[in-house]
Structures are given as structure tokens and as C-alpha cells.
């Protein structure tokens, strides 16, 4: 998948998953130089991360592959529902409900994660779909008891800027690089 397609998917879904982030990193690492279109796509992604239009799911030293699989399924299903109705769904609530009813699949290496993904897709995909469907149904049936509740890990203020800066430093370290900070005088300035 290309950087442009990954960014398009992130903008459509509203989430940048660890798998998407890893793929962008792989593309950047393997390319001798990124194209203007790729830099423009990364710039669009950074803008969306800054405005909160896209939320980056944090990367860990280990991953629960089941989280990726459930989040991917939940995002796809929620996008379908929201596109065809006036209903707004919380992907986090839906994913948490489904994850609480599915086995964890932790991995600490890319090879382990790949094995877990393949195994889960072959043996657990139907169960994942069932649990996400049940989570959506439960979410739609529940009353809004506490509308003032605050989501865990909500990105505000400088946290978003920190995430964007870290992502840019990781994936585009030489993009718009300046030799001197703007507030330092140049050698020929009085």
C-alpha cells in the first residue's frame, strides 16, 4: 500500500493505526527519496493529526494483535453505519466491548505479530466479526447516561503537537530541514 493510500484511509477512518504507521515507516525506510506526492500526503496527515481529524493509536514495545484486528473491523463497520445514517458511534467503546470478549494475542516482534495476525485471521475472524457486531448492537441500544464522561488518553493541546513532531522526525527527518533556527542571527547579520 502506498503512503497516499494509507493517508487517504487514515483520513477516511479518523485513525492512524500502528499497522498503518509501520507501513509508512517501511516505505520511508526503503525509499531512497520520497516523491512530492508522498511528502504532500505526509503533510496532509500531519495537519489532520494536529486538528484531531485523525487520531494516532500509540505504538508500544509490544502489541496485542487482537487490538489491531478488532479496531480494523470496528472502524470499517462504524464507517459503513455512519455513512448510511445519522448515527454517530464511538469506535473506542465498540472496540473495548469486543476486546473484552476475545482472547489477547500479544507479540513483541514483527515476526510474532505476523504469525498472530495470520493465525487470528484464519481461526478467529468470524468470532471477531461477531463480537464487533454485538458491540455495535449493544452500543446502539444503550442510553446516554453520562454524557459528560471523558475518554481515556484524549489528546489535547501540546500532546497533539508532540505526536505530530515525533511522527515527522521519524518518517521525514530531512523534510524542510533548516540549518539554523529562525530566531538565531546568521553570520552576516549585524
Local structure of 157: helix, strand or coil: coil
Spatial contact of 102 and 131, defined as CB atoms under 8 Å apart? yes
Q: What is the pLDDT of residue 142?
A: 79
The predicted pLDDT at position 21 comes to 86
Give residue-wise pLDDT tens across range 99-149.
999 999 999 888 999 999 999 999 999 999 999 999 999 998 876 656 566
Secondary structure (3-state) at 177: coil
Tens digit of each residue's pLDDT (9 = 90 or more) over 52-91:
899 888 766 788 999 999 999 999 999 898 888 888 888 8
Per the CB < 8 A criterion, the answer to whether 66 and 99 are in contact is yes
- pLDDT score, position 57: 80
Tell me the backbone φ, ψ of residue 106, rounded to 5 degrees: -85, 150
pLDDT of 154 strictly over 70 = no
pLDDT band with cut points at 50, 70 and 90 for residue 155: very low
Report whether 117 contacts 68 (CB < 8 A).
Answer: yes
**24 and 6 in contact (C-beta within 8 Å)?**
yes
Report the pLDDT value the prediction gives residue 179, as an integer from 0 to 100. Answer: 47
Distances (CA, A) of 34 to 5, 6, 45, 79: 15, 15, 15, 30
Mean pLDDT on 12-24: 87
Lowest mean pLDDT among 7-11, 41-45, 63-67, 153-157: 153-157
Residues 6+ apart with CB under 8 A from 134: 97, 98, 101
Instruction: Give dist(CA 73, CA 90) in Å, integer.
Output: 13
Amino acid at each position: 500500500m502506498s503512503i497516499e493510500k494509507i493517508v487517504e484511509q487514515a483520513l477516511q477512518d479518523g485513525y492512524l493505526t500502528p499497522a498503518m504507521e509501520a507501513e509508512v515507516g517501511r516505505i520511508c525506510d526503503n525509499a531512497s527519496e520520497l516523491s512530492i506526492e508522498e511528502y504532500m500526503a505526509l503533510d496532509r496527515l500531519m495537519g489532520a493529526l494536529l486538528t484531531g481529524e485523525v487520531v494516532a493509536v500509540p505504538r508500544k514495545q509490544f502489541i496485542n494483535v487482537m487490538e489491531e484486528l478488532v479496531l480494523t473491523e470496528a472502524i470499517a463497520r462504524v464507517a459503513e453505519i455512519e455513512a448510511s445514517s445519522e448515527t454517530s458511534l464511538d469506535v473506542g467503546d465498540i472496540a473495548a466491548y469486543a476486546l473484552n470478549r476475545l482472547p489477547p494475542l500479544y507479540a513483541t516482534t514483527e515476526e510474532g505479530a505476523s504469525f498472530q495476525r495470520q493465525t487470528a485471521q484464519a481461526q478467529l475472524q468470524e468470532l471477531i466479526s461477531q463480537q464487533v457486531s454485538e458491540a455495535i448492537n449493544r452500543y446502539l441500544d444503550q442510553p446516554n447516561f453520562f454524557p459528560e464522561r471523558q475518554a481515556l488518553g484524549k489528546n489535547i493541546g501540546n500532546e497533539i503537537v508532540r505526536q505530530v513532531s515525533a511522527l515527522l522526525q521519524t518518517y521525514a527527518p530531512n523534510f524542510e530541514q533548516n540549518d539554523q533556527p529562525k530566531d538565531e542571527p546568521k553570520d552576516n547579520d549585524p
